[in-house]
Amino acid sequence: MAQDPRSFSPAGPPQSHIDAEDIALNPEAEGLQEGIGHREGSLAEREHGKKTRAHAKDIISGRA
């Protein structure tokens, strides 16, 4: 029987830093650190892209 999603409670807040103790307790945690960095990098790249496109529109319209 599937768990009711409303009754799910995570063990704690998401961690942005995974240390050696976490990896010892959960070997899969080692890969999570890379995933966090990749996600942050992608977000930064998206934000940079938005600013670049907005700036290009300003140049084209003569506002820059």
Contact 58, 52 (CB under 8 A): no
Region label for 6, one of left (φ > 0), alpha (ψ between -120 and 50) or beta (otherwise): alpha
What pLDDT score does 50 carry?
A: 87
In angstroms, what CA-CA distances link 37 with 22, 23, 45, 50?
Answer: 17, 16, 12, 20
Res 49: pLDDT: 84
Domain ranges in the chain are 20-61
Question: What's the predicted TM-score (pTM) here?
Answer: 0.33
Largest CA distance in the chain: 61
Residue 45 CB contacts under 8 Å (≥ 6 apart), including other chains: none
For each of the chain's 64 residues, which pLDDT tens digit applies?
555 555 555 565 555 565 666 656 665 655 555 555 555 567 778 888 888 888 888 888 887 6
